Structure 1
Amino acid sequence: MPPKLTRLLVSNLHQATIKQPVVRNMMKSLYFQFSAGVLPMYAVTFIGYWAYGSSTSTYLLSSVNGPVWVKALANISAFLQTVIALHIFASPMYEYLDTKYGIRGSPFSIRNLSFRVGVRGGYLTINTLVAALLPFLGDFMSLTGAISTFPLTFILANHMYLKAKKNKLTSLQKLWHWFNVCFFSLVSIAAAVSALRLIAVDSKTYHVFADL
C-alpha cells in the first residue's frame, strides 16, 4: 500500500476513535443525547400536534404551509436524512451479505464493486418499492419502532445496565432503572397496539401506489 494512503487511513482511523478516557467520553455523549439531544425531537412532536392537532398527516411536512422554497428545503433535508439513516440501519445486512458471499479484499475490485452495487442497490430498490406500494408505510414504521426501537433503546439498555452493575447500584438507582424498564414496556405495548390499529384502518382507505 502506498505510504500516503497508509497515513491517510491511519489518520482517519485515529479521528474515528474516541479519545481517552473512552468510557467517560461515551457517557458524556449518551448524557447529552438523552437530555439536550431529545429536545428537538420532542419539540417537533408536541409543537406539531399543538399546531395541527390529531388530524395532521403522518408526514408532518404535508400539513405545513409556507413558502415553497422552505417546504422544498425541508423535504430535501428529510430525504437526505432518510437515505443516510437507511444506510446506517442497513449496515448489518450489508455486512451479513458480504460475509455470506465471501466479499473480501479491495472494495474497488470489479467483483466486489459489482456485487455491492447490485446487491445493495437492489436492497434499496426493494425498500423504495415497498414504501411506494404502501402509502401508509408510516404505520408500519410505527409498528417496527414499537417492537424494536423502544425495547432496544430503553428497555434492553436499562436491563443490561442492571445486570452489569447490580451489586454497585443504590436502591434508588435500581428503582429508577426498573421504572424505565416497566414504563417503556407499557409504552411499547401501547404503541404496537396503536400501530396495528392504524394499519387496519388505513388499509381499508388507501390503495396501492396511492398518490398522497
Structure 2
Amino acid sequence: MVNDSTMDTHNNQPYNDKVDNRTDKEKAIDAWLPITSSRNAKWWYSAFHNVTAMVGAGVLSLPYAMSELGWGPGVTVLVISWIITLYTLWQMVEMHEMVPGKRFDRYHELGQHAFGEKLGLYIVVPQQLVVEVSVNIVYMVTGGKSLHKFHELVCKDKHNCKDIKLTYFIMIFASVHFVLSHLPNFNSISGVSLAAAVMSLSYSTIAWSAAVKKGVQPDVQYGYKPKSAVGTVFNFFSALGDVAFAYAGHNVVLEIQATIPSTPGKPSKGPMWKGVIVAYIVVALCYFPVALIGYWMYGNAVSDNILISLNKPTWLIAMANIFVVIHVIGSYQIYAMPVFDMIETVLVKKLKFTPSFMLRFITRNLYVALTMFIAICFPFFGGLLGFFGGFAFAPTTYFLPCIMWLSIVKPRKWSLSWITNWICIILGVALMIVSPIGGLRSIIVQAKTYEFFS
C-alpha cells in the first residue's frame, strides 16, 4: 500500500516512487488538462454531476417509449435498466482505484488496463466519443426545440410575433456554450451542474403533475399504435434504445470520480458511491412518475416529448421548457468536458502543442460550432435517441463495465458475480443489436418529410 506521507500535493493524489515517475513537464500537463487538474470535489459534487449526466432530455421521451413498449414490457424494461445500470456504475466506481497508488481517471485508461494498451483505446475511445458527441448534438436540438416551444407559448399574438426558424433557436442555445465551454475543468462547472440537476427534478415534476391535473384523456388507448406487426416490432426496438439513452451517465463517471481527493485510508470510491446513490434516487423520482403517469394519462397518443402533449396551463409549460433549456446547458457541459480532455490530451501529449489559453479557445469553440452545425442539419429528436441509444450507449452502460470486471477481477466461474455479469452482457448485446434497427427506421420515416435548415 501507499504511505500517507507520500502525497503529490498538487493533485492531492497518493503515489510512491514506483508509480509516480512523471517528469515536472508531465505533471504540469496533468495539472492543465480538465479531468486531472482539480481534485478537491466533495461527495455531493458527484451527486449532482451524476444527476445532470443521467437525467437528460431522455426523461421526456419515456412516456412515448412506454407507449411503444406497452405496460408489462415497459415497466419491466424501466426497472431492469435502473438495476443493471446501478450495478455497472458500482463496478466502475470500484475499479477506479483497483491498482494501489494509481487512479483510472478516464474510461479509456480503465479499458487499457483491462484489454491492453492499444486494444483498450480502440475499444473504448470510439464508443465513448460517439456517446459524448451524439449527446451533445441531441442536446443542441433539445435546447433549440425547448426555446422554440417557449417562444410559441409566450408569443400568442400572431400580428406582433414573428415565426422564427428552429435553426435560429439552436444557434441561440449554442451561443451560451461558446462562453461556458471555456470553464477549465469539472469542478469549475459544478455551479452550472447543480442548477441543471435542480432543473431536471423541477421539469420532471411539472411534466407528471401537469399530466395528473389533465387527468386520463377521454378516448385513451393503451394498445400498440401501428396497424402492421412490423411497425410495432420496429417501434418496440426503437423504444428500447430510448430507455438505454435515458441511463447514459457511465461515460463520464470515472472522469467525475477523478475530481474527488483520495488517500489509501479514504479512497475516492466512498464519497463517489454516496453521490451515486443519491443521484440514482433522484433518477428514480424523475423517471418513474414521468414514464408511468404520462403514459397512463395519454396512452399511445402521447408525443415523443411529453411537454409537447401538455399545452395548459401555458405559464407552467413555458416555465418547464425554460427549465429544460437550463438543464441541457449543464448536461452539454458535463458530456463535453471529457471530449475537451481527449482533444487537449492528443494535442499536448501526442502533437506536442504548448498548453495555452489560445489552444483551448480555438479547439473548444470549433467543437461547439461542429455540434451546432450537425444539430441544425439533423434535428429529428426521437429517432436519433433510439439509434445512438442502442449503438453506443448499450455497450458503455450495460456491458463494457461487466466485461472489464470479468477481465480484471476474474470472479470464480458460476459464482453469483460471474453469472450476474454474463446476464448483463447478454442483455446489453441484445439491446445493442435491436435498438439501432428501430431507431434507423424511424429516422428514415421522418426523413421522408424533412427539409434541410427548415
TM (normalized to structure 1)?
0.74
Preserved contact between residue 39 and residue 261 of structure 2 (Cα < 8 Å): no
Which residue of the other structure, out of 67, 70, 86, is the alignment partner of 2:316?
70
Q: Cα distance, 1:168 vs. partner?
A: 5.4
- C-alpha deviations, 1:42-101, integer Å up to 9, x for none? 432333233333343333211123222211221112112222222222223322333416
d(CA) in 2 for partners of 1:103, 1:69: 50
The one-letter code of the counterpart of 1:104 is: P
Task: State the match for 2:380 in structure 1.
Answer: 136
The one-letter code of the counterpart of 2:428 is: F
The 1:120/1:38 distance shift into structure 2, 3 A limit, reads same
Task: State the match for 2:450 in structure 1.
Answer: 206
* Identical residues among aligned pairs (%): 26
- C-alpha deviations, 1:100-134, integer Å up to 9, x for none? 162515xxxxxx2x554444234223322332332
| Higher alpha-carbon deviation: 116-125 or 76-85 | 116-125
The 1:201/1:61 distance shift into structure 2, 3 A limit, reads same
Matched, 1:104 2:355: yes
Q: Cα distance, 1:147 vs. partner?
A: 1.3
- Cα RMSD of the aligned pairs, angstroms, is 2.9
Task: State the match for 2:410 in structure 1.
Answer: 166
Matched, 1:43 2:289: yes
TM (normalized to structure 2)?
0.38
The one-letter code of the counterpart of 2:411 is: N
Higher relative contact order (CA closer than 8 Å, sequence separation 6+)? 2
d(CA) in 1 for partners of 2:420, 2:449: 43
Q: Cα distance, 1:32 vs. partner?
A: 5.1
d(CA) in 2 for partners of 1:14, 1:115: 25
Unaligned ranges ≥5, structure 2: 1-10, 13-37, 43-259
The 1:33/1:182 distance shift into structure 2, 3 A limit, reads farther
Task: State the match for 1:14 in structure 2.
Answer: 40
More helix, by proportion: 1
- C-alpha deviations, 1:141-186, integer Å up to 9, x for none? 3211211112101111122222223235862332122111111221
Task: State the match for 2:145 in structure 1.
Answer: none
The 1:138/1:130 distance shift into structure 2, 3 A limit, reads farther
d(CA) in 2 for partners of 1:200, 1:64: 27
Q: Give the aligned length.
A: 193
Unaligned ranges ≥5, structure 1: 1-8, 106-111
| Higher alpha-carbon deviation: 39-48 or 176-185 | 39-48
Task: State the match for 2:424 in structure 1.
Answer: 180
The 1:176/1:13 distance shift into structure 2, 3 A limit, reads closer
Which residue of the other structure, out of 313, 326, 349, is the alignment partner of 1:80?
326
